[in-house]
Structure 1
């Protein structure tokens, strides 16, 4: 918004208070479920439409409203131009969400075979992560050569190297450190995990998923949508590493794609944050308005399909695997944006 251009943007006490008050009902409902009903916050299962389930959803809506209202006060980006490649990317994201919903309607039981390990979607997830890693590694040398991406005195090439290392760890965990492909036996130290594979995340699967999915929503939806135009000097350099506004719309499907995890309050909060974020972008960015409205409608309608027809799937976890594939696509998209910025090609588009 234009008034942000002339001042530093800081969290006010009222902003912090609003977010805390908005999140309190969700904490209360989750605490009641745990203490009185014995329901763990990360329990999975068929969607709960009981009175308690409705209370969860209402508390998630309130929390999302608080988060997005504060974000809307801080946001400082407006889309000034939309390159054709961006429009194609947004169309691809919409088609992906639509295709997933149609698959749940038309061929729900076929999804299980499609998403299992060493099956098409699983393999494609790993291939996309490899592509993301390539672009991030290339960005290390580009940042060293151009000097772009310096953060708090740290050379940009170091930051890009850290990003490359993070994606490398995700890729290795996804492949169980090569076990999926090489087929070696599981070492004794790893035999206690959920899938008896050589990885760490299956020791704490539900908690790892919460961190992984929530980080994806924060990094690829909320930060791009609500990143302020002006910040205190120490933080302003972080904007270089935040994707452009349109990327929030591209990433919107990551807020949905839930069936067996719908009962988990944090995921419901992210779902409603996604819907409201699209509304905020559509209201403020005329260049993105139509894309925002279509993506929001698809997110809502597809989630209704998943909740009402998801029981037809063989296991129920299939949508989680689809979501993990989509996160790999987001990581690859971010890696491409980062590489272009490191070379200096994408600097002018960083605010759109």
Structure 2
């Protein structure tokens, strides 16, 4: 048996070199933590030499850590597992083109870029509608998909919980329709940063960081782990709740929409990790057209981040960019929801208790 990867009970596990690399990365990150707060106060990005050195340390530690997960193995990346382009390649292309359009809008028409992000304008409502759509798809699958209805009560509970989470985030985005139906804020919300009927504005910075980082973990890290350890897709629960690798290409887009939060270690870690993970996708792509798509995504990711940091004067408000970040995160959630719950691909979920032993051609992705 090869010493590079020793399976345990049929599950791929990292070898000791992988763990050593990850440990080295953790030490590097700890050094960085000592010099920068996790929940940094929103302010202009620091681009002085000391901060650039900090970013370099974080980048190096992140690269070593990510490398540790694929060290000694040769995973293959492929965007589409379906015969046709939908939904994988088409949805990926749509999101990347949307990113390119936003970058062009910011560069050429910055005033319009700012106007569209105002409260109750298209970007904010788009964010809410995308989350409502994801919530609906999860609920629809729970009650209408016969394959999911045949699963364990725990799996169905988690799917219902995910649908509820999407719904609550959407309602928080529009303050539970307060402004739409003109409801006066109760006195209990007087301490709210916007004096509106939402919970997240009682601790705006902290909740924003948590939401963004959790979204990064779900939409980028989990798909990368499925790429590094394909056996994750062989479990019914994981097959549903761990997004397919291509979702990371879509989810990484939001990680470049930073300006006022750039000084935070969480923000930079998410951006650097996303970029590095996409580089591993490109290097291990099975098809040339997939490699081209991923390289294009990397170029967009890096270019967008640099343009936003360099042209901060284009922002009408310091936090304008977060409105677009909060649009691309739900857009990635919708791609995942459609793929997982409506069009799961050639494998999808198996009925509870079934296996592939009787079908040697069955393949998990």
Q: TM-score, normalised by structure 2?
A: 0.84
Residue pair 1:47, 1:263 contacting (<8 A) in 2 also? yes
Residue pair 1:129, 1:171 contacting (<8 A) in 2 also? yes
Whole-angstrom CA distance in 2 between matches of 1:232 and 1:47: 39
2:31 aligns with 28
From the superposition, tell whether residues 196 and 59 of structure 1 become closer, same or farther in structure 2 (CA, over 3 Å): farther
Whole-angstrom CA distance in 2 between matches of 1:231 and 1:329: 24
2:194 aligns with 195
Q: Note the alpha carbon deviations across 1:283-342, whole angstroms, 9 max, x for none.
A: 112222111111101111111111111222111311111010111111222221232268
Residue pair 2:339, 2:345 contacting (<8 A) in 1 also? no
Shift of 1:20: 3.6
Whole-angstrom CA distance in 2 between matches of 1:87 and 1:232: 20
Residue pair 1:46, 1:311 contacting (<8 A) in 2 also? no
Whole-angstrom CA distance in 2 between matches of 1:301 and 1:350: 37
Whole-angstrom CA distance in 2 between matches of 1:344 and 1:161: 24
Whole-angstrom CA distance in 1 between matches of 2:298 and 2:24: 26
1:160 aligns with 159
Shift of 1:75: 8.0
From the superposition, tell whether residues 100 and 231 of structure 1 become closer, same or farther in structure 2 (CA, over 3 Å): closer
Q: Mark the runs of 5 or more structure 2 residues left unpaired by the alignment.
A: 351-361
1:334 aligns with 2:333: no
1:209 aligns with 208
Residue pair 1:147, 1:155 contacting (<8 A) in 2 also? no
Q: Note the alpha carbon deviations across 1:248-267, whole angstroms, 9 max, x for none.
A: 11222122111111111211
Whole-angstrom CA distance in 2 between matches of 1:218 and 1:26: 17
Whole-angstrom CA distance in 2 between matches of 1:293 and 1:49: 26
Residue pair 1:30, 1:41 contacting (<8 A) in 2 also? no
Whole-angstrom CA distance in 1 between matches of 2:135 and 2:17: 41
1:97 aligns with 99
From the superposition, tell whether residues 14 and 187 of structure 1 become closer, same or farther in structure 2 (CA, over 3 Å): farther
Q: Which SS does the other structure have where 2:197 is aligned?
A: coil
Q: Note the alpha carbon deviations across 1:95-143, whole angstroms, 9 max, x for none.
A: 1221122122112233222111111111111122221121111011135
Shift of 1:236: 7.0
Residue pair 1:341, 1:347 contacting (<8 A) in 2 also? no
Q: 2:110 aligns with which of 100, 108, 111?
A: 108
Q: Note the alpha carbon deviations across 1:128-167, whole angstroms, 9 max, x for none.
A: 2221121111011135x324684xx544322211111111
From the superposition, tell whether residues 113 and 75 of structure 1 become closer, same or farther in structure 2 (CA, over 3 Å): farther
The CA RMSD measured in Å over matched residues stands at: 3.0
Shift of 1:343: 11
From the superposition, tell whether residues 49 and 158 of structure 1 become closer, same or farther in structure 2 (CA, over 3 Å): same
2:286 aligns with 286
After TM superposition, the structure 1 = structure 2 runs for residues 168-179 of structure 1, keeping only pairs within 5 Å, are 168-179=167-178
Q: TM-score, normalised by structure 1?
A: 0.86
Indicate the larger mover: 100-109 or 2-11. 2-11
Residue pair 2:141, 2:341 contacting (<8 A) in 1 also? yes
Whole-angstrom CA distance in 2 between matches of 1:188 and 1:15: 54
Residue pair 1:149, 1:157 contacting (<8 A) in 2 also? no
From the superposition, tell whether residues 75 and 220 of structure 1 become closer, same or farther in structure 2 (CA, over 3 Å): farther
Q: Mark the runs of 5 or more structure 1 residues left unpaired by the alignment.
A: 35-39
From the superposition, tell whether residues 140 and 148 of structure 1 become closer, same or farther in structure 2 (CA, over 3 Å): closer
Shift of 1:192: 0.7
1:118 aligns with 120
Whole-angstrom CA distance in 2 between matches of 1:264 and 1:351: 38
Q: Which SS does the other structure have where 2:198 is aligned?
A: coil
From the superposition, tell whether residues 351 and 278 of structure 1 become closer, same or farther in structure 2 (CA, over 3 Å): farther
Whole-angstrom CA distance in 2 between matches of 1:338 and 1:322: 24
